[in-house]
């Protein structure tokens, strides 16, 4: 999903969370999980792809043109979500609960909108799956539709 879509969804969810609970901690958690979870893209951009140009336009262009080579995305991982859910059972802090709500919606939207980008949408959101493929874009991401070869019907 495009960052603007995650931002709008997170604002709406945060407003609803605050209106129903009046909890600033829960609301902050919802926004963090719903939108700021994408900061791991920035982490990948700098730490794993060696980029230093931090202009938002360059960062977005880099991703939308599929120039990246590594896809780590530590916050976009079923394993992390599962671990946080277990922690939340024993320590149900409002921020953590809000984060889980926001991140669950975020990942749900990613599952819907990113299906055509990866061979296996559910597997892609496992950091173990990505690690087993060396976090290598070529082994994780399908070529953008415009770059995929045209194959005549009936041929593979």
Query: DSSP assignment of 54-120, as one string?
Result: --HHHHHHHHHTT---B---TTS-HHHHHHHHHHHHHS--HHHHHHHHHHHHHHHHHHHHSGGGSS-
- Beta pairing partners, 136: 70
Q: What is the pLDDT of residues 70-116, one digit of tens each?
A: 999 999 999 999 999 999 999 999 999 999 999 999 999 999 999 99
Domain ranges of the chain: 3-141
Distance CA 31, CA 13 (A): 8
Average of per-residue pLDDT values in the chain:
92
Provide the 8-state DSSP code for 46.
I
Distance CA 96, CA 147 (A): 40
- pLDDT, residue 138, reads 94
In the predicted model, is pLDDT for residue 154 greater than 60? no
pLDDT band at 150 (very low <50, low <70, confident <90, very high): very low
Is the alpha carbon torsion for 114, 120, 122, 127 positive or negative?
negative
HSE, side-chain direction, 13 A CA sphere, residue 5: 11
pLDDT band at 1 (very low <50, low <70, confident <90, very high): confident
- 102, 13 Cβ separation under 8 angstroms: yes
| Tokens matching residue 74 | 């530590």
- pLDDT, residue 153, reads 47
Please, which residues have CB within 8 angstroms of residue 93's CB and are 6 or more apart in sequence? 25
């Amino acid at each position: 999903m495009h960052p603007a879509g995650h931002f709008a969804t997170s604002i709406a969810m945060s407003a609803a969370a605050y209106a129903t609970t009046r909890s600033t901690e829960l609301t902050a958690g919802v926004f963090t999980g719903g939108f700021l979870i994408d900061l791991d893209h920035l982490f990948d951009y700098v730490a794993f792809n060696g980029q230093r140009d931090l202009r938002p336009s360059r960062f977005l262009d880099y991703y939308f043109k599929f120039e990246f080579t590594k896809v780590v995305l530590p916050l976009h991982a079923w394993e992390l979500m599962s671990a946080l859910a277990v922690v939340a059972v024993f320590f149900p802090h409002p921020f953590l609960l809000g984060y889980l709500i926001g991140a669950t919606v975020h990942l749900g939207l990613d599952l819907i909108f990113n299906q055509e980008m990866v061979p296996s949408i559910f597997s892609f959101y496992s950091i173990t799956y990505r690690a087993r493929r060396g976090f290598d874009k070529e082994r994780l991401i399908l070529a953008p539709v415009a770059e995929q070869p045209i194959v005549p019907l009936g041929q593979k």
